[in-house]
Chains A and B, each alone.
Chain A
Amino acid sequence: MKLKQELKKKKHDFIKKWFRATIDTYSPDAARILGKDSNRFDNPIGAITNETCEDVFNHILEDFTQVTLEKKLDPIIRIRAVQAFSASEAVSFVYALKRIGNDLLDESLGREFDRLVDNIALASFNRFMKCREEIFLLKATESKRRIHRAFERAGLVAELSEEDLLGSKKS
């Protein structure tokens, strides 16, 4: 309880520093632009990163589950999953919180806070994998959906449909 009270008290500092640390994972020239507080449609990475940091932080102040946490992390992870980050780089921004916690929190709360951050990290890794799987699925199904299905409908190709193969069409 004490940890949450402390976090609540220092919320703005945490969010500000976390946002900065996350944006600084981009190259300095990009970070200069992405870190600006500009119109959210002119700077989607900056805006979404900022909003997600805030949302996730507010969320950990409440009762949360890994499932709800994962959902809150989605917007930021979804972006990082398609950028030039390795898997560890993509979720590394979560660990920046430990460093920030070190600076802002009393030492006695350090271990509890680290455990909290570990939970966020695990949730973000789950979400990262889901996003990557979605990308692979899109790669696998897009061309089929786009062209093959039209041919199938027209009866120009005769193959077992996906539904047949999956057994969802019971005769």
Chain B
Amino acid sequence: MSNDIKSDELLNKIDFSPKYDKGSGNWMDTTKSVQIRPGMYCYAAKAESVEMLGLPNARPWNPLEEDWKLPDNWQEIIFNGLKERLEKFRTFKVFMDICVRCGACADKCHFFLGTGDPKNMPVLRAELLRSVYRNDFSTAAKILSKIPGGKKLAGARPMTMSVLKEWWYYFFQCTECRRCSVFCPYGIDTAEITMMAREIFNLLGLNIDWIATPVSNCYQTGNHLGIQPHAFKDMLEFFVEDIEDVTGVNCTPQFQKKGADILFITPSGDVFADPGTYTCQGYLILFQYLKEKYGLDITWSTYASEGGNFGSFTSHETMKRLNAKMYAEARRLGVKWILGGECGHMWRVINQYMDTMNGPADFLEVPKSPITGTIFENAASTKMVHITEFTADLIKHGKLELDKSRNANRIMTFHDSCNTSRGMGLLDEPRYIIENVCDNFYEMPPNTIREQTFCCGSGSGLNAGENMELRMAGALPRANAVKYVHEKFGVNTLGTICAIDRAALTTLCEYWVPDVEVYGIHELVGNALILPGEKERDEDLRFEPLPGKEEK
């Protein structure tokens, strides 16, 4: 009898835990606190920014210090925060319960593929939160915990400070790109798990500054950079001068015009950050062309001067607040519908969340192109159309005169932004435009584009400077594909339709593929479009000589 194994001994012998980190027993053992490594994390939110938004626990703090200056009842706040969200969001509850740890997502995350850190496998990152969920909320796990060895079997662990620090470190190593969800047989959207984790952080004042300060700026001034209306107008007027130098045509836009047909909103990065500024000039050229040829009546607004929404990386309440101002301005001006610029997460917010947050926008009309008569049914409820849909439709109907030869020196590939591709299925319109304004276009390999596109590694508010190592590691899978087409086809231009991408991919290329430049699609349109009354152009919008116009 003495040789018989007792049931609890048998259960304890089952090792279901991942095999790494054997030194500390298993991955759930957080007695050794997670090592927060410089280069991999973003600085803590400034107290003033948190305070401005009326979010809790505004104070200076430093992630590297042991004391995060949390309220005494922080565990209770997390418990209640999780409880509220599990009750409110059915998806969150389902995602907590249904993962079978099949591992299909494990090697799909750019952060795992770039850092080689197993906790960046989406399954394991989510498990950091699930393990606490099992401890506190799952009935099955509670029953299991009563039998010998059952706690380990349930994969449950209590909420401790070390667990919280680990959450914080790894949920800010997820760009909410949703590539993993494409491969999940259950359709678990790991991005939404990250969103929930970040909401919990915000209940404790644990946001990062690269998110909190832009949100605070946007809330006060209307855009992430905190640029005031007169400076916003100055920048656009400056672009008008530059465009006039290149084309000889004045493209002065309208601001805050009441009763205009369309309100145009773009991320502020297009107005203030290179190389997005050239994309912005492309918009101005297009609108001037359409005004001259077809009488398009479109207005910009210095109040709705931000299409992006870093609120979506904070909490659903904050996202709603920032999103509302675009629609408030559309209502105030009395436009028919909204045209949106080249942006990524702005479109995820519009397509997936706007309608149930601030919509339906019944006071606007279903978007209809005043030039082609096309009705954008896909935007029937949100009333907001992506500019590549609008421009592709114009080209399709032969409404634009384009001189492709001006982009002949651009050997293109196209990076699908995570949010526009996976968040709204915008796949072919940008490609259609590229093919109509450029002669040379080569796709990256199929497992790196369209729905399977790799993130730039800097999305969801992680485009800071202090986390450069994380960004460059996360960018590796994308860069690897860019490098391939660069070497194989001589690609020198990476096209994109996202403001974060235009900034992030530029740095990515500098590190990984230095001979490739980043262009917005409407910069190429701006170069190719033949404006009525234009002079013979010698330079492109970057003041570089056009093909064939180089100095001999």
Which residues from chain A sit less than 8 Å from chain B, CB to CB? 26-30, 33-34, 39-45, 47-48, 78-79, 82-84, 134-135, 138-139, 142-143, 145-147, 149-151, 153-156
Please state if A139 and B238 are interface contacts (CB–CB under 8 Å): no
Q: What residue of chain B has the Cβ atom nearest to residue A140's Cβ?
A: B465
Known: A44-B477, A147-B225, A153-B238. A84 touches B465 (CB 8 A): no
Contact of A41 among B37, B473, B481 (CB under 8 A): B481
Which residues from chain B sit less than 8 Å from chain A, CB to CB? 18-21, 37, 39-40, 106-107, 112-118, 121, 225, 231, 234-235, 238, 242, 272-274, 277, 445, 447-448, 465-466, 468-470, 472-473, 476-477, 480-481, 484, 503, 506-507, 510-512
Interface pairs (29), CB distance under 8 Å:
A26-B116, A27-B116, A27-B118, A28-B19, A29-B20, A30-B20, A30-B118, A39-B447, A41-B445, A41-B448, A41-B480, A41-B481, A41-B484, A43-B113, A44-B113, A48-B480, A83-B114, A83-B473, A134-B510, A142-B468, A145-B506, A146-B503, A147-B272, A149-B274, A150-B274, A150-B277, A153-B242, A154-B235, A156-B231
Q: Which residues of B contact A45 (CB under 8 A)?
A: 113-114, 116, 476
Please state if A30 and B225 are interface contacts (CB–CB under 8 Å): no
Q: Which residues of B contact A34 (CB under 8 A)?
A: 116
Q: State the main secondary structure of chain B at its contact with A.
A: helix
Rounded to whole Å, the gap between the CB of A171 and the closest CB of chain B is 21
Q: Which residues of B contact A44 (CB under 8 A)?
A: 113-114, 476-477, 480
Q: Which residues of A contact B484 (CB under 8 A)?
A: 41
Top-5 shortest CB links A-B: A27-B20, A154-B238, A44-B480, A29-B20, A29-B118
Rounded to whole Å, the gap between the CB of B165 and the closest CB of chain A is 16
Q: Which residues of B contact A146 (CB under 8 A)?
A: 273-274, 503
Q: Which residues of B contact A143 (CB under 8 A)?
A: 465
Please state if A82 and B274 are interface contacts (CB–CB under 8 Å): no
Q: What residue of chain A has the Cβ atom nearest to residue B269's Cβ?
A: A146
Q: Which residues of B contact A28 (CB under 8 A)?
A: 19-20
Q: Which residues of A contact B274 (CB under 8 A)?
A: 145-146, 149-150
Q: Which residues of B contact A84 (CB under 8 A)?
A: 37, 40, 115, 117
CA distance A147 to B270 in the complex (A): 10
CA distance A143 to B464 in the complex (A): 9
CA distance A57 to B450 in the complex (A): 37
Rounded to whole Å, the gap between the CB of A127 and the closest CB of chain B is 13
Rounded to whole Å, the gap between the CB of B110 and the closest CB of chain A is 9
Q: What residue of chain B has the Cβ atom nearest to residue A44's Cβ?
A: B480
CA distance A155 to B234 in the complex (A): 10
Contact of B465 among A139, A149, A151, A156 (CB under 8 A): A139
Contact of B468 among A40, A48, A138 (CB under 8 A): A138
Rounded to whole Å, the gap between the CB of B436 and the closest CB of chain A is 28
CA distance A95 to B242 in the complex (A): 56
Q: Which residues of B contact A41 (CB under 8 A)?
A: 445, 447-448, 477, 480-481, 484
Contact of A150 among B40, B272, B466, B470 (CB under 8 A): B272
CA distance A146 to B503 in the complex (A): 7
Q: What residue of chain B has the Cβ atom nearest to residue A26's Cβ?
A: B116
Q: What residue of chain B has the Cβ atom nearest to residue A36's Cβ?
A: B107
